[in-house]
Amino acid sequence: MNYFDIKEIIEEYDSIVLYRHIRPDYDALGSQLGLKYLLLENYPTKKIYTYGLENMNNPDFLEDMDNPSVDIIKKSLTIILDTSTHDRADDTSYLKGLKSLKIDHHLESENNTDYFFVIESASSTAEMIALLAIENNWKINKKAAEYLYAGMNSDTRGFTINSVSSTTFDILSILIDKGINLVEINRYLDDVSKEKFAAKHYLASKTIFKGDVAYIVLTKEIKKKLGLSTHEAKDFVYILDSIKGVNKYAFFFYEDDREAFSVSLRSHKASIVEIAKKFGGGGHRLACGIPKISYKQIDEVINLLIKAKV
């Protein structure tokens, strides 16, 4: 499967529904909305819909999903973006389409769609969507360029991770030529509410250091006190990103609906995805997560993190 094959598949269908993962980040939404505007621009006669029940609260930049009816979905090609496993999909109706296509960059992404296009080395799904457009000489409008840039920037933490390649920057130079305003988009991506700002600094003060590991445990009580949603809490793992001597870090946050902790794990060098897998999670080599562990298991995870070596 290559970018030309994807184009051929897309051209076979008059109606296309675009999906992404639950608790969407800017790569999920950027690849979804970026592809929407690419398809609208290049195939004006096709009907293009977006689907997703969970949203990020950023109406200045993001837009509402179309959430078409099942009747429409059944007559459409569905494309699910940036979603490694079926249980991460928002929503599962992507399997009801005439045919389904997955475009993703996660490690060991689950092959459960009719068509499957995964490039594990890609630094973001938005990068793959941008390449899909470039390789096929599609016209890229400003709106598509903005969403793709947002996905590329946020999934690579501002182009600072190892999967960023010269190709990433070649794509960027093309997107920037579409007139996108970097200052404006970066403010959309980075600005937090005053409450979230205060919560972030409170949590930073609660950091625990063990060996070369730093971690924060957001308990039910603290979460309630700070008035944080799980979605908001999730990004806070990056509070711990730039601390001298800290090579691996973790953020544990209480999930009310699961009555258990979700975990975000990060490492600068040593692979830690095996630790996530051991507890039923997964993700990338240096950035992964665990959906559900008990309070008692936190120490086990930390001990494994301390032992993880390059």
Residues of this chain that interact with Mn ion (CB under 5 A) are: 27, 82, 125, 155
Burial class (CB in 10 A: 0-12, 13-18, 19+), 179: exposed
Q: Least Å distance between CB 105 and Mn ion? A: 6
Which of 30/97 has CB closer to Mn ion?
30
* Residue appearing with tokens 């711990």: 240
CA 175 to chain centre: 20
Which of 110/212 has CB closer to Mn ion?
110
Count the neighbouring beta carbons within 10 Å of the beta carbon of residue 220.
Answer: 14
Which of 100/125 has CB closer to Mn ion?
125
Q: Least Å distance between CB 304 and Mn ion? A: 24
Ranked by CB distance to Mn ion, the top (closest) residue is 27
Q: How far apart are CA 63 and CA 56, in angstroms?
A: 9
> Is there a contact between 234 and 264 (Cβ–Cβ < 8 Å)?
yes
Q: Least Å distance between CB 253 and Mn ion? A: 20
Q: Least Å distance between CB 12 and Mn ion? A: 26
Q: Least Å distance between CB 212 and Mn ion? A: 26
Q: How far apart are CA 30 and CA 110, in angstroms?
A: 21
Which of 129/302 has CB closer to Mn ion?
129
Which of 129/213 has CB closer to Mn ion?
129
Which of 158/227 has CB closer to Mn ion?
158
CA atoms within 13 A on the CB side of 236: 31
Q: Least Å distance between CB 34 and Mn ion? A: 12
AA letter at 172? L
Q: Least Å distance between CB 71 and Mn ion? A: 30
Count the neighbouring beta carbons within 10 Å of the beta carbon of residue 227.
Answer: 10
Q: Which two tokens stand for residue 128?
A: 């793959």
Which of 215/251 has CB closer to Mn ion?
251
